[in-house]
């Protein structure tokens, strides 16, 4: 048909003898390309107008079909126009490159159909999971798995048809796939394991996109963002992406907290041991508060009881469940419950306990402690008396040093003795003054001070005796030196 039209058009142009064959081919090809562009524009506008009108109807499938086929229809128009232009060029030039026009047209047609089918599958997937277009939208993970499987089937089928169109034997390809599949299976066993792991995830549906999951066997916790055929993408709570191969989920335990029915509040509240007579009323009021709370699920387990005698507290167990499953709202409800429990405890005149220890001391240790405290207080009032006693002792030491100097100069025992007696008298006076000032002190302290004074006097006497002996020996030595000097002088006089 195309060749017949070309022959008629070519004969008409030759009859008028307007152009050469080369120009005639160029004019015809340009007209075809221009006509193709015009038809493609018209098809695009028509489909856009129909899609806009169908969007107002209640039928949701006509919108999806028009949206999926609008661009493939335009591509088909261009494919057909280019094919006709290539046929005209082949008619005039008979080049070998244009001999593949039919095969390219077939492959292009397969490509356009595959494009339309993939778009249609994608639109159907969006419709099935949309809460706006569907009263009961389907699970996204399930629909996504079916959509991926459908696209895979379409692509494999199109590839086999394309190979058959290009002249390849499908039976040979299938035979090669059967034999080579074993080698490929051993070489890509991890890849196949991940593929079948993804298939199991889509089949069993332990979690879906948007679920919060965690594994007690591995350090895996976060929100599922994508479930692929090879791996799953999980967004951790610190906003880091975590990529987990699908084969991992076939060997570990997975916990899905997103599917919990309620959230639990489990707390141990401790009050003081001195509030034991109020524990019964406190427990009763806390239980009534929880039963009347708007965010507490009373149909679930609710326990408020006195639990145990702890080391420093009387423990009250509070165990209940909230209606909400949202993480933020749950903590708001928990805060409100704990503050109300604190108000109940304070309302009964009790207090929340903290770790304390009570130390019991024996009576004898108490008396000794009291005596030490009283002695310390009396010692503070007697600082002036002790200062006077120390002044007396310093004066005694000064007098003893003076007595030594007097004994060396005068070599007389009476003068040193009088000095010691005077020093002893002054010490006695200071001692009596200290005794009069400390008349209110206790008997053991007086006895201790007497012994101290007695030892100081004995030291003074011993120092005085030592000084007396020293002075006498010094006098004897001086007399002996004087006599020896006189004897020498007499002997010298006799010689002269």
Give pLDDT tens digits along the chain (496 positions): 555 555 555 555 555 445 556 666 677 777 778 888 888 888 888 888 887 777 777 777 777 788 888 888 888 888 888 888 877 776 667 666 667 777 788 888 888 899 989 988 888 888 888 877 777 777 777 787 788 888 888 988 888 888 887 777 777 666 665 656 666 666 667 887 888 888 888 888 889 888 999 998 888 999 999 888 889 999 999 999 999 999 999 889 999 998 999 999 999 999 999 999 999 999 999 999 999 999 999 999 999 999 999 888 999 999 999 999 999 999 999 999 999 999 999 999 999 988 777 776 666 655 566 666 665 555 555 555 544 455 555 554 555 555 445 444 444 444 444 445 554 555 455 555 545 554 444 455 556 566 666 665 665 455 445 444 444 444 444 444 444 444 434 444 434 3
Residue 27 falls inside a structural domain: yes
Residue 475 falls inside a structural domain: no
**In whole angstroms, what is the distance from residue 35 CA to residue 28 CA?**
10
- Nearest by Cα to 374 from 447, 439, 449, 440: 440
Residue 322 pairs with which residues in a beta bridge? 263, 296
Do residues 141 and 225 both lie within one domain? Answer: no
Residue 478 falls inside a structural domain: no
Do residues 265 and 252 both lie within one domain? Answer: no
Residue 153 falls inside a structural domain: yes
CATH number, domain of 315, equals 3.30.70.100
Containing domain of residue 231, as a range? Answer: 204-258
Do residues 223 and 172 both lie within one domain? Answer: no
**pTM, two decimal places:** 0.50
Q: How long a stretch of residues is the chain? A: 496
Do residues 248 and 324 both lie within one domain? Answer: no
Residue 492 falls inside a structural domain: no
Residue that finishes a domain, picked among 187, 216, 250: 187
Do residues 118 and 149 both lie within one domain? Answer: yes
**In whole angstroms, what is the distance from residue 90 CA to residue 46 CA?**
33
């Amino acid at each position: 048909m195309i060749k017949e039209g070309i022959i008629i058009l070519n004969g008409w142009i030759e009859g008028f003898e307007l152009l050469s064959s080369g120009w005639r081919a160029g004019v015809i090809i340009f007209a075809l390309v221009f006509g193709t562009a015009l038809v493609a524009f018209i098809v695009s506008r028509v489909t856009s107008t129909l899609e806009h009108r169908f969007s107002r109807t209640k039928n949701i499938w006509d919108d999806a079909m028009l949206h999926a086929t609008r661009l493939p229809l335009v591509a088909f128009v261009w494919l057909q126009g280019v094919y006709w232009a290539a046929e005209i060029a082949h008619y005039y030039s008979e080049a070998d490159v244009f001999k593949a026009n039919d095969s390219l047209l077939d492959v292009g047609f397969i490509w356009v159909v595959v494009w339309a089918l993939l778009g249609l599958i994608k639109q159907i997937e969006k419709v099935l999971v949309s809460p706006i277009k569907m009263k009961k939208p389907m699970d996204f993970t399930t629909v996504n798995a079916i959509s991926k499987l459908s696209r895979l089937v379409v692509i494999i089928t199109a590839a086999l048809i394309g190979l058959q169109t290009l002249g390849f034997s499908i039976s040979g390809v299938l035979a090669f796939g059967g034999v080579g599949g074993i080698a490929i299976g051993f070489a890509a066993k991890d890849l196949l394991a991940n593929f079948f792991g993804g298939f199991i995830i889509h089949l069993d549906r332990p979690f879906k996109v948007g679920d919060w999951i965690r594994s007690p066997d591995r350090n895996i916790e976060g929100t599922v963002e994508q479930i692929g055929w090879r791996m799953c993408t999980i967004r951790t709570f610190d906003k880091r992406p975590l990529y987990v191969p699908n084969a991992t989920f076939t060997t570990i335990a997975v916990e899905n907290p997103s599917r919990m029915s309620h959230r639990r509040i489990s707390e141990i509240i401790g009050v003081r041991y001195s509030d034991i007579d109020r524990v019964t009323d406190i427990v009763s009021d806390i239980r009534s508060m929880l039963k009347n709370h708007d965010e507490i699920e009373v149909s679930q387990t609710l326990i408020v009881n006195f639990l145990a005698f702890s080391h420093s507290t009387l423990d009250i167990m509070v165990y209940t469940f909230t209606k909400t499953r949202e993480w933020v709202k749950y903590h708001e409800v928990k805060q409100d419950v704990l503050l109300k429990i604190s108000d109940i405890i304070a309302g009964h005149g009790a207090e929340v306990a903290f770790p304390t220890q009570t130390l019991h001391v024996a009576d004898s240790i108490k008396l000794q402690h009291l005596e030490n405290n009283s002695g310390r207080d009396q010692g503070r009032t007697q600082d002036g008396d002790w200062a006077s006693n120390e002044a007396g002792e310093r004066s005694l030491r000064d007098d003893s040093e003076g007595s030594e100097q007097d004994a060396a100069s005068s070599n007389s025992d009476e003068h040193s003795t009088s000095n010691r007696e005077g020093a002893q008298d002054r010490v006695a006076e200071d001692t009596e003054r200290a005794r009069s000032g400390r008349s209110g002190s206790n008997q053991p302290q007086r006895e201790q001070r007497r012994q101290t004074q007695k030892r100081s006097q004995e030291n003074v006497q011993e120092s005085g005796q030592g000084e007396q002996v020293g002075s006498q020996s010094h006098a004897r030595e001086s007399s002996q030196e004087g006599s020896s000097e006189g004897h020498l002088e007499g002997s010298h006089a006799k010689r002269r």
